[in-house]
Structure 1
């Protein structure tokens, strides 16, 4: 591995800008290349963030020797295809969530990573948020007692956007579930594991995409009540409640800057800011894995990604959410 881990960005869209800004805050890494289907767009992004190389096709970047790891930041529908194409060329990959549209795609990606002996991780940045890490630790220590209830939501109004926008376009796997519903499902899975049963209902937009989904995950002792939606702004303070007390992740919980917990009727609040926006923490995890020669993270493993997409698949099966690409 080079003195500094060299990153390439595939797809210089909005989320890639956030990623590049946070990458500049992480020691031991640098952005060296950007690829887009539009060379001018790649060059402009590269100039903005000081990357030495820009490419007018993804394949040119995959064929190059100027990066150690790639960040796939394209729309959901191309994650599987591009990740596999990169891994077939021996590239390590951090792929934006959801890693694939369904279990079949994620399974293909995992198989490719193993076959090509390269690193692969889903960019589920919330898994590495300092406050979420701390609350998970509090739960595992038994501080809150036996967990009986979890509530997590994610929603904003998006129905005023152009129907070709990725959120409202079924051909781009639009809707709330894969884009933001994945976060509440992730938190329930992180804290409580895989549920014994799921109940779910969805509301649909005129374009055919799912626009709001309510879910109940059922466990032997606990229940998780989860919501995602594009039809209104939803409160985004997550709650985890047990027999001895409760913990709360501050608004907006998936990128929270702190948490609080209530024990014996007394509340204690803790500020725990992220470095930058918060992508820095997943970048640091990728660096750690690459430096230690690991092909997957033990904090968010390939099996974790398979489990998560399996839960998304189950919710979609219950609610009738399908995509043309499938």
Structure 2
């Protein structure tokens, strides 16, 4: 593949802007091309971030032989179709979370990756965050004892946003669960695995979008209380409690810069600030996997993505969260 890994980006919104800034911090990476269905948007993005090539269609980028890896940051509804299209053109793919809208889509994406023998990973950036990795190591080592309780939430006020936009539009798989509820669910899954039982309840906007969801995961010796919502803010903190101590991750825990361990009322503060916005680490994981010839990451595997979407499908089924294109 040459010395640098050449990246293409499709879906040129705010996430892509943060991603491309972190891409510039990775020595082995080169941003080679961007694509939008709006050529003007692609050219503006290309000019702002000094990208050599701008395309007015996704197909042109997929056909570009020089592009090694495609980062897909479009609305959720396009993830599966575009990821499969990219992989059928021999591209490795890093696809924004959720990888697909439902389990069927994710299964098709994984099958396409295996068929084409290309790398595929869900861009669940929190999994590669140094503080989150350290939290998992701390829990797995038994340092705070067997986990008994986990709480994590993610909420911000979004009801003043455009109802045709990605966040609140059911036609674009909008709603809090897939957009931000995925983070608390991910944390519980990462530390406790698949729950034995899921209890959940959702509230909806008049336009049909799910705007609040509360979830309890039941494990043999632990429970997790999780929440996502667009109707108000939350502190966005995480608490992970075991028999011997508790880990506290402060506000905006999904992009943690460190955490505190409380043992017998004695606090130890661990600081692990991120490089850039934090996308830096998932980019490095992609590069590491490619250099080793891996087709999936050990840290966030295809099975992990399948498990996560299966949990979210269960919550959706319990609350009747069905998108128009699925009916």
How does the TM-score come out when normalised to structure 1? Answer: 0.99
Cα deviation per residue 1:91-113 (whole Å; 9 max; x = unaligned)? Answer: 10000000000000000000000
In structure 2, list runs of 5 or more residues that go unmatched.
none
SS of 1:122 mapped into structure 2: strand
**Who is 1:73 aligned against?**
73
**Who is 2:136 aligned against?**
136
Cα deviation per residue 1:6-46 (whole Å; 9 max; x = unaligned)? Answer: 00001111110000001011110010100000111111111
Cα drift, residue 159 of structure 1: 0.5
SS of 1:6 mapped into structure 2: strand
Does the aligned pair in 2 maintain the 1:11–1:74 contact within 8 Å? Answer: yes
Does the aligned pair in 2 maintain the 1:33–1:66 contact within 8 Å? Answer: no
Cα drift, residue 188 of structure 1: 0.3
Mapped partners of 2:55, 2:304: distance in 1: 33
**Who is 1:98 aligned against?**
98
Mapped partners of 1:221, 1:131: distance in 2: 25
Please provide the CA RMSD for this pair.
0.6
Mapped partners of 1:246, 1:27: distance in 2: 37
**Who is 1:306 aligned against?**
306
**Who is 1:39 aligned against?**
39
Runs of 4+ in structure 1 off by over 3 angstroms are none
Mapped partners of 1:40, 1:203: distance in 2: 39
Taking the TM superposition and a 5 Å limit, the aligned residue runs for 1:256-267 are 256-267=256-267
Mapped partners of 2:304, 2:153: distance in 1: 21
Mapped partners of 2:138, 2:60: distance in 1: 46
Taking the TM superposition and a 5 Å limit, the aligned residue runs for 1:199-214 are 199-214=199-214
Does the aligned pair in 2 maintain the 1:72–1:83 contact within 8 Å? Answer: yes
**Who is 2:122 aligned against?**
122
SS of 2:194 mapped into structure 1: coil
**Who is 1:20 aligned against?**
20
SS of 1:194 mapped into structure 2: coil
**Who is 2:249 aligned against?**
249
**How many residues are matched?**
326
Mapped partners of 2:162, 2:73: distance in 1: 21
Cα drift, residue 168 of structure 1: 1.1
SS of 1:65 mapped into structure 2: coil
Cα deviation per residue 1:75-121 (whole Å; 9 max; x = unaligned)? Answer: 00000000001100111000000000000000000000000000000
How does the TM-score come out when normalised to structure 2? Answer: 0.99
Mapped partners of 1:256, 1:178: distance in 2: 20
**Who is 1:273 aligned against?**
273
**Who is 2:320 aligned against?**
320
Cα deviation per residue 1:256-309 (whole Å; 9 max; x = unaligned)? Answer: 111010012101112110110000000000010011111100000000000000
Cα deviation per residue 1:225-284 (whole Å; 9 max; x = unaligned)? Answer: 000000000111100000000001121100011101001210111211011000000000
